Structure 1
Amino acid sequence: MQTYQVDGHEPSLLPEGKAWRYVWGDEFDGDTLDLDKWSFRLNFWGKRFQAYTDEGVELDGKSNLKINLIEKDGQYCSAQLQTGANSFDAPPPAYETEVNACGDNNFWPLGEIEKPKFMHRYGYYEVRCKLQQQPGWWSAFWLQSPSIGTSYDPAYSGVEVDIMENFKRDGEVTSGNFYGGYGSKLSEDARVHYRVSDTPDGYHRFGLDWSEDGYVFYCDGVETARTSGPVSQVEQFILLTTECKGYRNGNMDQPSDELKGAVLPDCFTVDYVRVFDEVK
């Protein structure tokens, strides 16, 4: 891997054999989240979801973002950040009308959504982060499209690209793709599970090289998976998210027993998010 230095910050690790140009990023300088770059995801399938919040997000003054696990009266929540939106985020009336008209509900209908703050196609996407320590909640760095699931062809409706998901506290990380909507035609590709090695400061770099030829996944400069498709040919947005376990598992108003065992405070810490284009 080659390094790319951002003044005053930790360098990026980028794939060799290509020239790269920095096109977008957030170093999380300052003392408040930049809302010109990020929005909060608060809905789940178009309805307000109690485990999502716009609270508990802070910058520590050392160029780090911290997404905290919050507990209030036995209920838990944490934040999800995104640079765009889709019908996942649409208000209930618009969303429910579209779903009822959809028939088998396999498609994710495209309703009225917010204007994106950053969308991009192809390039290298990288996060440097420190994983949470307590059980019962997970973190992720991923891509989604505004029109995902509106067509069976992922080239035109997009691909969910999970660059990093961390569900367990044993260092295991998951990456890979989902496409074809979120119903009976849901398919997956290049899904891998691996354990990260310890680092002196606890931080790890997770990256994705997305090109018209496929996807290559990296952890700390080492390739972990690759696939030649299906490949999204549309612009997608970035998500930097956490979520509490239990609330989706047929028990929408209660946390998991695992989550109840979490000792607070705990947080998912992000040093930076960066996007690079290949210079050809």
Structure 2
Amino acid sequence: MGQEKVDPQAASAGTAMKLVWQDEFDGDSLDYAKWGVEVNAFGGGNSELQIYTDRSENVRVEDGNLVIEARKDNAGISGTEREYSSGRVRTKHRGDWKYGRIDVRAKLPEGAGIWSAIWMLPTDDAYGGWAASGEIDIMEMKGQEPDQVLGTLHYGDVWPRNAYSGDKYKLQNGTFADDFHTFSVVWKPGQIDWLIDGKKYQTQTKWSSTGGEFPAPFDQEFHLLLNVAVGGNFLGSPNDSTPFPAQMLVDYVRVYQ
């Protein structure tokens, strides 16, 4: 892991955390001890249009960044071909945490129908199926609104009786496609804070699960997911102005506890 690092922002707040997991993407290939690449011929739910592959065209490491690239290339896997392809990686069983601070520095793709996400799911569905066991969305961005991102919790009961709550953060100048920004959550028992570039913009302390008492479901181990989806119910389809390929570049992932 290299030299131990301490989070200076957490330290200045009197709650020093130590770096427990990181990927700086300095090599020339993905570290499969830390990441699994999901292969899914039918997108990721939500009526999304992409196929997720493990091809280097969709997931690779180059120039010090993880590249997750959405393409309009009629890729096929498992006997299924779709108009769009993209990548989705996760740390499940390679990086699983209960509480801590997760920092992801990334540059996001813009364009109608491009949905980039940095998020967390429970490693074990201790309280039942989605969303009774929870979901933590560190960052989601609709490519047609590239100056704002969303931070959301999903919880409550299994779909469709689930609930969610969250807020958005809007840049005063420019877009999240112009440069890298650091997206973070600080997750403590009964409280989750969202930060962008070290600035807190929301705190949540109220949620529930039909499977257990508060602070369930956010009292179990979660893992991290990074992906770029195309289309779907959340944001609509690409149009003629959507640029392909569309890349999310990830400079680093750092987890402190």
| TM-score calculated relative to the size of structure 1 | 0.71
Contact between 2:18 and 2:256, CA under 8 Å: does it hold in 1? yes
Q: Does 1:188 align with 2:164?
A: yes
- SS state of the match for residue 238, structure 2? helix
Give, as a single letter, the amino acid of the residue that structure 1 aligns with 2:70: L
Distance in 2 separating the partners of 1:259 and 1:270: 25
Distance in 2 separating the partners of 1:271 and 1:197: 23
Distance in 2 separating the partners of 1:206 and 1:66: 17
- SS state of the match for residue 14, structure 1? helix
Question: Which residue of structure 2 aligns with residue 160 of structure 1?
Answer: 135
Q: How far did 1:146 drift?
A: 2.8
Aligned alpha-carbon RMSD (Å):
3.1
Q: 1:259 to 1:35 in 2, by over 3 A?
A: farther
Q: How far did 1:182 drift?
A: 4.4
The correspondence of residues 258-269 of structure 1 with structure 2, limited to 5 A, is 258-269=238-249
Q: 1:262 to 1:12 in 2, by over 3 A?
A: farther
- SS state of the match for residue 237, structure 1? strand
Contact between 1:215 and 1:229, CA under 8 Å: does it hold in 2? no
Distance in 2 separating the partners of 1:204 and 1:272: 11
Give, as a single letter, the amino acid of the residue that structure 2 aligns with 1:192: D
Q: How far did 1:199 drift?
A: 7.4
Q: Does 1:28 align with 2:36?
A: no
Distance in 1 separating the partners of 2:253 and 2:130: 29
Q: How far did 1:151 drift?
A: 3.3
Question: Which residue of structure 1 aligns with residue 256 of structure 2?
Answer: 276
Question: Which residue of structure 1 aligns with residue 224 of structure 2?
Answer: 238
Q: 1:258 to 1:27 in 2, by over 3 A?
A: same
Q: Does 1:77 align with 2:75?
A: no
More helix by share: 1
Q: How far did 1:198 drift?
A: 4.5
Give, as a single letter, the amino acid of the residue that structure 2 aligns with 1:261: S
Q: Deviations over 1:215-238 (max 9, x none)?
A: 011011111110113341111111
Q: 1:194 to 1:17 in 2, by over 3 A?
A: same
The correspondence of residues 32-111 of structure 1 with structure 2, limited to 5 A, is 32-43=29-40, 44=44, 51-55=51-55, 56-61=58-63, 63-73=64-74, 75-84=83-92
Distance in 2 separating the partners of 1:153 and 1:269: 28
Give, as a single letter, the amino acid of the residue that structure 1 aligns with 2:22: G
- SS state of the match for residue 119, structure 2? strand
Distance in 1 separating the partners of 2:246 and 2:238: 14
Q: How far did 1:128 drift?
A: 0.4
Distance in 1 separating the partners of 2:170 and 2:101: 22
**Could you list the runs of 4 or more consecutive aligned residues of structure 1 that deviate by over 4 angstroms after TM superposition?**
197-201
Contact between 2:9 and 2:198, CA under 8 Å: does it hold in 1? yes
Q: 1:149 to 1:269 in 2, by over 3 A?
A: same
Distance in 2 separating the partners of 1:233 and 1:216: 15
Percent of residue pairs identical: 28
Distance in 2 separating the partners of 1:139 and 1:79: 10
Q: 1:208 to 1:257 in 2, by over 3 A?
A: closer
> Which segments of 5 or more consecutive residues in structure 1 lack a partner in the other structure?
1-5, 85-115, 250-255
Q: Deviations over 1:218-262 (max 9, x none)?
A: 01111111011334111111111111114x68xxxxxx6525532
Q: Deviations over 1:150-169 (max 9, x none)?
A: 43898xx6320001001134
The correspondence of residues 127-166 of structure 1 with structure 2, limited to 5 A, is 127-148=104-125, 150-151=127-128, 158-166=133-141
Question: Which residue of structure 2 aligns with residue 113 of structure 1?
Answer: none
Q: Deviations over 1:154-211 (max 9, x none)?
A: 8xx632000100113431100020013441320112x112213457971101110101
Contact between 1:139 and 1:167, CA under 8 Å: does it hold in 2? yes
Question: Which residue of structure 1 aligns with residue 78 of structure 2?
Answer: none
| TM-score calculated relative to the size of structure 2 | 0.77
Q: Deviations over 1:47-85 (max 9, x none)?
A: xx8522222112223x2111111121481121111111x
